[in-house]
């Protein structure tokens, strides 16, 4: 972000999308380092959005929830995935494509005014009672 923002400042235009996680907002045992790093990234996003706004640079973060990837499948296994799905109001994990579409919008010319936001893509997980 620091390196690319130098070029964006010269061009008076840019879009930066940082990737955080639902665990930057919510936490549970054994997540101290991960939650700290993701919460810090969200804070950095908000500060950068203020610092870079005068250059027409929009800075946001996306916080995916449970997403069906090979890594998720290998860590959680089918039982863990079923458990996660039971905690998600939509009843399923996100596809990587669903996360990518949000990132694409935020980084495109279609986004002309959203800045300093953390967009949570989690099927309602953070709003559910877990």
Q: Check if the beta carbon of residue 20 is closer than 8 Å to that of residue 27.
A: no
What is the three-class DSSP state of 60?
strand
Known active-site residue 34:
yes
Main-chain dihedrals φ then ψ at residue 129, nearest 5 degrees: -80, 105
Scanning 1-130, the segments in alpha helix (DSSP H) are: 2-11, 32-52, 70-87, 96-107
| Residues identified as active-site | 34
């Amino acid at each position: 972000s620091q390196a690319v923002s130098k070029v964006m400042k010269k061009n008076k235009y840019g879009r930066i999308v940082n990737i955080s996680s639902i665990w930057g907002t919510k936490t549970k045992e054994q997540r101290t380092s991960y939650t700290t790093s993701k919460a810090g990234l969200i804070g950095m996003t908000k500060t950068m959005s203020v610092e870079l706004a005068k250059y027409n640079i929009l800075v946001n973060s996306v916080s995916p929830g449970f997403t069906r990837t090979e890594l998720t499948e290998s860590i959680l296994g089918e039982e863990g995935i079923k458990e996660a799905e039971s905690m998600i109001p939509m009843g399923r994990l996100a596809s990587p494509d669903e996360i990518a579409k949000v990132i694409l919008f935020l980084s495109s010319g279609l986004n002309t005014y959203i800045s300093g936001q953390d967009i949570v893509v989690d099927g309602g997980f953070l709003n559910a009672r877990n």
